[in-house]
Amino acid sequence: MYDIFDQLLQRYNVTAYKVGKETGIASSTFTDWKNGKSSPKNEKLKLIADFFGVSVDYLSGNTNKVFCRDCGSWFNPLDSEDEKNHLRIHEKWEKAVVKFGFCWNYIRSDEMQLMYRKRLKDKNLPSDKAMHYLEELMKAEYSDLLRENDFNYYYDFNTFVSKQLWKHSVRDLVSQEVFKLLEDKYGINYDNDPTTTSIESTVEEEKTRYYINDETAKIAQEVFENGDLRLLFDASRNASPEDIRFAVEMLTRMKKKENFDD
Ligand SMILES: [Zn+2]
């Protein structure tokens, strides 16, 4: 255990004295540790681990990898090859930030996604706030995608959002009014996106699956764009065949009645 601490001292070119000064741990603790008299207590191990940016598990020799809270990868700071690869990830990341405008770190993306998903659940949210929250949520998801794709994601943020707007999970997060605002700002991109199809199918796929030809796809599109009809359109996705048949039958009856009234 002291061995790992010693390697970390050498790796970062610091002395035990300096670590003691920064963490408030008495020098005798390190001496006793080195001489095998006693090991530091857990809270002291935590202070030392934090000093080097590693975990207590790593310092104790239970694992040889450290989790980077920024890029989300595991690496061994005492393995030069591992460290080189880790540095390369961060270099790519810096370039991606310049190219794509931003890329939040792993922990921040995670926190933002949780926070904005929660905020969007408020049904009384004003449109501008809802729009802002969804955009922030999209930024966090976009950052994840950049990291997952080795910072080589092909699309910029605006294109990403326009592709996400096709997804039911995204559409279901906001009201129709907010969705319309987003659609006006970003447009909806129908193109197949190979990097996001694994997360959820796009409409291109859905077209071939749900519609027999372009004409029915067009009608479905019109239904989708009609606010009232879209409710039915969306609801039918999760409905049982009996429910759909019942709804269609009811609508047909209403339609007949309407015709008689004419
Ligand atoms: Zn990292």
Domain ranges within the chain, ordered by starting residue:
2-63, 211-262
Cα-to-centroid distance, 164 and ligand 1 (Å): 27
What is residue 218's predicted lDDT score, i.e. its pLDDT? 64
| Ion ligand 1, residue ranges at CB < 5 A | 68, 70-71
Q: Residue 24 class from Cβ within 10 Å (0-12 exposed, 13-18 middle, 19+ buried)?
A: exposed
CA of 195 to the centre of ligand 1 (A): 23
CB neighbourhood size of 105 (10 A): 16
Over residues 255-260, mean pLDDT: 64
Residue 259 pLDDT grade (very low, low, confident, very high; cuts 50, 70, 90): low
User: How far apart are the C-alpha atoms of 143 and 149, rounded to whole Å?
Assistant: 10
pLDDT at position 230 is: 59
Ligand 1 centroid distance, CA of 85 (Å): 10
What pLDDT does 190 receive? 73
Looking at 3.30.420.40, 3.40.1190.20, 1.10.260.40, 3.60.130.10, the CATH number of the domain 2-63 comes to 1.10.260.40
**pLDDT at site 204:** 44
Distance 68 CA to ligand 1 centre (A): 4
Residue 209: per-residue pLDDT: 46
pLDDT averaged over every residue in the chain: 84
Closest CA to 10 of 38, 52, 42, 65: 52
Ligand 1 mean position, distance from CA 90 (Å)? 6
The dihedral built from the CA positions of residue 34, 40, 42 and 46, taken in this order, carries a sign that is negative
Contact 206, 220 (CB under 8 A): no
The pLDDT confidence band at residue 234, using thresholds 50, 70 and 90, is low
Residue 71 CA to ligand 1 center (angstroms) comes to 4
pLDDT at residue 114 above 70? Answer: yes
Per-residue exposure over 50-70, b if at least 16 CB sit within 10 Å of its own CB, e if not: ebbebbbebbeeeeebbbbee
Ligand 1 centre from 147 Cα, in Å? Answer: 11
The helix/strand/coil state of 162 is helix
Q: What is the C-alpha radius of gyration for the chain, rounded to an integer number of angstroms?
A: 28
Compute the distance from residue 79 Cα to the ligand 1 centre, in Å.
14
State the distance from the centre of ligand 1 to the C-alpha of 66, rounded, in angstroms.
Answer: 10
Percent of all residues in the chain with a pLDDT value above 90, rounded to a whole number: 62
pLDDT tier for residue 198 given thresholds of 50, 70 and 90? very low
Q: How far is the CA of 58 from the centre of ligand 1 (A)?
A: 16
Distance between Cα 12 and ligand 1 center (Å): 17
Query: Is a pLDDT exceeding 50 seen at residue 205?
Result: no
Ligand 1 mean position, distance from CA 77 (Å): 11
E strands, the chain, in order: 66-67, 74-75
| Mean pLDDT for the stretch of residues 189-198 | 57
Give the residue, 44 or 223, on which the prediction is more confident: 44
Q: What is the pLDDT of residue 235?
A: 63
Question: Would the pLDDT of 260 be above 50?
Answer: yes
> Which DSSP string corresponds to 80-105?
HHHHHHHHHHHHHHHHHHHHHS----
* Ligand 1 centroid, distance to 69 Cα (angstroms): 7
Cα(76) to ligand 1 centroid in Å equals 11
132 CB neighbour count, 10 Å cutoff? 14
Q: CB neighbours of 112 closer than 8 A, spacing ≥ 6?
A: 104, 136, 137, 139, 140
